[in-house]
A and B are shown apart, each in its own frame.
Chain A
Amino acid sequence: MVLTIDGIKCEFTQGQTVYEVAKENGVYIPVLCHHEQIKPVGACRVCVVEVEKARSLIASCAMPAEDGMIVYTNTERVLKARKLAVELLLTQGHHNCITCESSGNCVLQDLVYSLGIDTPRFNEPEKLKELEQANEMIVRDMNKCVLCGLCVRACNEVQVNQVLDYAGRGPTASVGPAFGLTYENSDCVFCGECVRICPVGALIEKQGRFKGRGKDLELVRTTCGYCGVGCQMDVNVKDGKIVKVTTPREDAPAPNNGSLCIKGRFGYDFVSNPERLTKPMIRVGGELKEATWDEAISYVAEKLGSIKKQSGPDAIAGFSSARCTNEENYLFQKFLRAVVGTNNVDHCARL
């Protein structure tokens, strides 16, 4: 089946939306309330397109592609509607990009900029809502919420944690845990999916606040060090320090497709804990005393050497670790087998 988008003939398969077909064919349609892992609702009207023979503009994210359809994504009518939608969103809240953590990484900011909205025609609300920052993981700034509903749908459809919901209508509309509870007092398990998916700066990683944003951050792709799921994540680094852990908002890789749990997303700060061991130590007279690497290594080698000589290699044993890398584990067993000469090597698989 084929449809035409801005003059380009695009093949598609049954069930794809106009937005998906456009994206696949390199035609950019902006979206705000839509995400590839979440069922489309077509609520924000940012992705509207003009379809030949259709009377009104159509939300492309929720519109199934049809054979022979002719679509325009960039007509004056489309741009006008898009601009109006974004202006309204912008003025619903209070968007202070200067100190916003999402600045440089915000769908709304990009939209406002690319549509050339200089000063919005409507006034921003005057009364600011208070930030919710009682827990150690997530800060909620509902002044910046554009009510796209993605956090609600991510919590229910992606993580199936069933914590977030919509409340109220019109000017009192809001999103959050049921009964107006705070995150802290709800059943929230702090997986942070809502933070990942929020297109603006309304949901933010608390410990990373004011420590670096946007282009200041170097993203290092790595594997979570906690459980065996092996989630892929980006460690955000600035000035040699971990600012936060994030996952790609789109096109996130297997096995976790951008999801994490609280340990992976918020459990990284042990790394810079001051109790870290930083110097080799040898026990002298019942107490561990700092030593040089040379002293420590010689001590170990001497002990192992003499025990092997006196009692044989099987008097030596080693526990390696499921927290260490493959390379380290490989070397550990090679050490015991090839250098010491014993098979007494095991790790905590059973524990």
Chain B
Amino acid sequence: MTNSIADLEQSDCFLITGTNTTENHPVISTFIKRAVTQRGAKLILADPRNIELAKFATVWLRHKPGTDVAWINGLMNVIVSEGLLNEKFIAERTENVEALKETVKKYTPEYVEKITGIPAEDLKKAARLYATSPASAIVYAMGITQHINGTDNVKSLANLSMITGQIGRPGTGVNPLRGQNNVQGACDMGCLPGTLPAYKKVVEAAERKPFEDAWGTALPDKPGLTIPKILDAAEHGTVKALMIMGENPMMSDPDLDHVEKALKKLDVLVVQDIFPNETTAFAHVVLPSTGWAEKDGTFSNTERRVQRVRKAVQKPGEALDDWQILSLIAGKLGANWNYTSPKDIMDEINKVTPSYAGITYDRIEKAGIQWPCPNTEHPGTPILHSAAFTRGKGLFSVCEHIPPAEETDKKFPFVLTTGRILYQYHTATMSRRSKGLVSRTPDAFIEVNPADAEKLGITQGDMVDVSSRRGSIRVSAEVSNKCDKGVVFIPFHYTEAAVNKLTNKAIDPVANIPEYKVCAVNVRKAK
């Protein structure tokens, strides 16, 4: 997030899109709901599903899945044509606005209505609310990024914030909500194929150098492969060994048949985890590690706040902390690592990661600190980009609407969109072993609109077969108005109805994010 969670309580207007916040970031949703109900903040919701936040929305833009660039360009079209731009901000802080104006010209509310299904009047209303409120914040999540043009979606939101100057001040900003507890930290720590800790580029010799010095070895300068590409490479036999620390690709990745083929081709698959899961079933070596309550360390939350995780109970059996396991393997391969605790590792992180330099265990004993925090006197940074963008001037990059990779047709007439629910978490290895959570949502389901259900002869609780070009699963029907006609939703937590058997592995060319939010399926009552 560019801004802080607490900062949301200062917003006068929210544009919330691609996040079912009350279910997936429940506590953040309380900040938003309080602002709306107690301070009269406006809420623009753009979401294909009738999620809980729709109840709180001033305007709800219900677009067809996969049409985000179109409605965002549409908002900017209205803003330009009604003169609601922030000329001062544009002149001082940005470049390339002319190209943007040119691009959004054709995205008139009427044109956008045809693509997205959003009534032209609602779009206009939303544009005015967002542009003219004193402080408007954009909040988004995977509903924006999990598309073949996810990068364009994000850029379009950035354009919208810059053209109206709704960034860099309290209550504004472009705020992605990071899904899992430590996605932010895993990225910060360089678990990405192109970047070292603190996003230093592996291809830049000067950025590699401090790490080469600190680690006492030359480092590879060619960017590595992303997860989808690694799986492709495994299937083709060019990647032969895969180490997995706490991931479950046999549930979480698109097109599971393909994942299975890839994993089976490996010479060696090593999995460190806390439970047997769909992926350990293919492992050659399984190493028991410790879970959240059994280890010390830090997580970085979605607002870049680095906070302590503390050991509360003993680890089971012979399990070891993941850092200990890695140290053992590294040692066997000749490395000379001498970490005795997670704190030792953090001391090294402080030295080599400029944005974490001042975030020591001592300083975060009581309360976390938000990076960048360049030294131990620095209080941390609640708002990013308040004086300038990372690259200096904010660049408007031009994006055009493109259709999703797979469109509906006669054989597969429904759009399937996937996601999470309040009571489960990701591949559910933890949440489906929690009594309370299981009691709320024991089984997989598909949300079907009542009109579609009637046409298909499906009633509440019926078992239905859902199939795509890649596979088929059986789930029970949840007939409700949550999905619009022609759209169905299935959460991805359930192994017995693993929706990623159906999803499409088409990816965004830049971010390599798969298009989980749109694929074409057929739905039939099970025989």
Contacts and interface: CB of A to CB of B under 8 A. Distances in A.
Interface of A: 135-137, 157-160, 189-191, 207, 220-232, 235, 237, 240-242, 253-256, 259-264, 266-273, 275-283, 288, 293, 296-301, 303-305, 307, 311, 313-351
Contacts of B388: none
B206 interface: no
Contacts of A337: 190, 196, 202, 211, 215, 219-220
Contacts of A275: 275-276, 433
B301 interface: yes
Interface stretch (B66-74, B106-114, B303-311, B390-398): B303-311
Contacts of A278: 288, 316-319
Contact of A280 (B275, B318, B367, B368): B318
Contacts of B188: 326
B310 to A, nearest CB: 5
Interface stretch (B443-451, B483-491, B508-516): B508-516
Given A160-B33, A279-B318, A317-B241, A227 B179 contact: yes
Contact of B302 (A228, A263, A327): A228
Interface in B175-190: 177-190
A348 B323 CA distance: 19
Contact of A271 (B268, B313, B333): B313
Interface in B318-339: 318-323, 325-330, 332-335, 339
B130 interface: no
B252 interface: yes
A293 B318 contact: yes
Interface string B512-524: 1110100000000
Contact of B178 (A158, A228, A282, A320): A228
Nearest to A235: B312
Of B28, B234, B292, B368, chain A has the most CB atoms within 10 Å of the CB of B292
Contacts of B4: 255
Given A276-B288, A326-B297, 10 more contacts: A158-B30, A259-B30, A263-B425, A275-B433, A278-B318, A279-B317, A280-B287, A322-B179, A328-B322, A347-B183
A301 B335 CA distance: 11
Contacts of A325: 182, 185, 295, 297-299, 309, 322, 342
B183 A349 contact: yes
A271 B146 contact: no
A237 B312 CA distance: 7
Contacts of B318: 278-280, 293
B461 interface: no
A222 B308 contact: yes
B243 interface: yes
Contacts of B287: 280, 296, 300
Interface string B13-45: 000000000101111101001100110000000
B440 interface: yes
A189 B295 CA distance: 29
A169 B446 CA distance: 43
10 contacts: A226-B181, A237-B313, A255-B6, A262-B26, A317-B241, A319-B242, A319-B245, A328-B297, A349-B186, A350-B513
A119 B179 CA distance: 54
Nearest to A277: B288
A264 B292 CA distance: 12
B210 interface: no
Given A158-B30, A279-B288, A330-B189, A269 B181 contact: no
Contact of A346 (B193, B326, B423): B193
B379 to A, nearest CB: 13
B512 to A, nearest CB: 7
Nearest to B182: A322
Contacts of A137: 436
Q: How large is the interface on B (under 10, 10 to 19, 20 to 34, 35 or more residues)?
A: 35 or more
A297 B324 CA distance: 11
Interface in B435-477: 435-437, 439-440
Interface string B221-235: 011111100100110
B274 A277 contact: yes
Interface of B: 4-6, 22, 24-28, 30, 33-34, 37-38, 145-146, 177-194, 196-197, 202, 211, 215, 217, 219-220, 222-227, 230, 233-234, 238-247, 249, 252-253, 267-268, 270, 273-276, 280, 283-289, 291-295, 297-303, 305-314, 316-323, 325-330, 332-335, 339, 342, 345-346, 348-349, 366-368, 422-423, 425, 429-431, 433-437, 439-440, 511-514, 516
Contacts of B239: 314-317, 344
Nearest to B197: A330
Contact of B308 (A189, A223, A316, A349): A223
Given A271-B294, A323-B180, A329 B191 contact: yes
Given A275-B276, A333-B190, A338-B217, A268 B241 contact: no
B34 A160 contact: yes
A343 to B, nearest CB: 3
A102 to B, nearest CB: 20
Contact of B37 (A160, A298, A314): A160
A301 to B, nearest CB: 3
Contacts of B286: 277, 280-281, 288
Contact of B316 (A276, A307, A327): A276
